[in-house]
Chains A and B, each alone.
Chain A
Amino acid sequence: DTAVSQTPKYLVTQMGNDKSIKCEQNLGHDTMYWYKQDSKKFLKIMFSYNNKELIINETVPNRFSPKSPDKAHLNLHINSLELGDSAVYFCASSQGAMSTDTQYFGPGTRLTVL
């Protein structure tokens, strides 16, 4: 299947822990994104990479560090998890970083911090 995939789908962890979420796309796209969707369903951009280079870095705590080993992968590492980090994290990809490039979303990772 051609798609954007994320692992894990669910992640439950304790405050203070460090965790990673992985994202892979096999659509041949050049640009990948991380979004956070909070409990009120508000979807907000966190990071964007184009050809492995960071192009968007919104106001996100530096506990969040994205890493793109290649164009098809964009992982998100979170240090010292806090209660407020509980949310659904969506990875997305698009052909390029142009406004006309439709973004395709992964299934999401529901992170719960206890």
Chain B
Amino acid sequence: GQNIDQPTEMTATEGAIVQINCTYQTSGFNGLFWYQQHAGEAPTFLSYNVLDGLEEKGRFSSFLSRSKGYSYLLLKELQMKDSASYLCAVYQAGTALIFGKGTTLSVSS
């Protein structure tokens, strides 16, 4: 079976740093994706990790530990436009992307 857990909601203030955690249990792991989804819009790709470690891309970084079944998305210098849902998704061998239920991040001034 598969299980992907993320916090349902998080709040932060502009300029701060926030870390969104994701834990997963899947049979056959082929990589982990983070997507951003603004209300009423399509998910857009943020990052992909398949090896352990940190991938940095501007203000966003994503970390993976395969042995722990754990990933996090780190958002720095938060802006109001970062208010969105952040979806953790695991690529399970032989199937497709399995999504978590998403974390709704609210950034306030």
* Interface positions of A (Cβ within 8 A of B): 33, 40-45, 48, 56, 58, 90, 99-100, 102-108
Cβ B42 vs Cβ A42 within 8 A: no
Interface residues of B in 17-43 (CB under 8 A from A): 30-31, 33, 37, 41-43
Cβ B99 vs Cβ A100 within 8 A: no
**Shortest CB distance B62–A (Å):** 13
**Shortest CB distance B45–A (Å):** 5
The majority secondary structure among interface residues of chain B is strand
Instruction: Say which size band chain B's interface belongs to.
Output: 20 to 34
Query: Given the complex, which residues of B lie within 8 Å of A45, measured CB to CB?
Result: 95-98
Task: Pick from A40, A44, A48, A105: contact of B43, CB below 8 A.
Answer: A105
**Shortest CB distance B10–A (Å):** 14
Q: Quick one: CB contact mask for B62-97 with A, threshold 8 Å, 1 for yes?
A: 000000000000000000000001010001010111
Known: A103-B45, A107-B41, A107-B42. A41 touches B85 (CB 8 A): yes
Cβ B31 vs Cβ A105 within 8 A: no
Cβ A108 vs Cβ B42 within 8 A: yes
Q: Which residue of B lies closest to A103 (CB)?
A: B97
> Can you show 30 pairs from A to B with CB atoms below 8 A apart?
A40-B101, A41-B37, A41-B104, A42-B99, A42-B101, A42-B102, A43-B43, A43-B99, A43-B102, A44-B99, A45-B95, A45-B97, A45-B98, A48-B96, A56-B95, A56-B96, A58-B95, A99-B31, A99-B50, A99-B91, A100-B31, A103-B33, A103-B97, A104-B45, A105-B42, A105-B44, A106-B42, A107-B41, A107-B42, A108-B41
